[in-house]
Chain A
């Protein structure tokens, strides 16, 4: 089996969340352009373990494992795009006057995220699809002369069902060539 190196971000797309593997085929993606540098972070939260050490022993008799909190994905956008804003906020946008009225009601956006990494080695890149993410959005950075206001998306990763095995899953990672072609890694 071939091995790959993963790094960088070439493109991030957003779509309404879907809850089955097959949903990926029909998702309508909108590109979230101008991603803030060094902001894309996927965190896999570790499981916690608790040892039970018997009174008459000094080593654990049994260890209890508790699943960690849901994984999180965070990234910032330097650009305020009306379509993306509408996905993330409760707002009223009037295109004719370029006016956005931000409503007081908070929104948790349920979206799918597709990250295409940069080609780091051997002309290959990875496409990471996270179909079910609950995203809250904050606005960070001051309105200063030397910085841009960022939309900071913080997502909790939820699950979806796989097609053939009906198992709970969180993401789909596919390696493709630089040009986006499928790679057949079967060994002869």
Chain B
């Protein structure tokens, strides 16, 4: 499972992994957890290392 680096804006307890994350913690967590609590989810964490793949521009257009 891919992991992403996030910063917790609020404390969170993840039931499935029995892990406490403290407010302000910067850790690598599973991508699905990050997505659920990211800015489109509950908004209690922010993804601080999100490297999008390079986009190839179509110059012909």
Contacts and interface: CB of A to CB of B under 8 A. Distances in A.
Contacts of A94: none
Contact of A181 (B11, B16, B33, B36): B11
B33 A182 contact: no
Contacts of B44: 182
Interface in B1-34: 10-16, 20-21, 23, 33
Interface in A157-188: 177, 179-188
Contacts of B11: 177, 179-182
Given A182-B10, A182-B42, A183-B13, A177 B37 contact: no
Instruction: State the majority secondary structure of interface residues on A.
Output: loop
Interface of A: 2, 177, 179-188
29 contacts: A2-B15, A177-B11, A177-B13, A177-B20, A179-B11, A180-B11, A181-B11, A181-B13, A181-B21, A181-B23, A182-B10, A182-B11, A182-B12, A182-B13, A182-B42, A182-B44, A183-B12, A183-B15, A184-B12, A184-B14, A184-B15, A184-B16, A184-B33, A184-B36, A185-B15, A186-B15, A186-B36, A187-B16, A188-B16
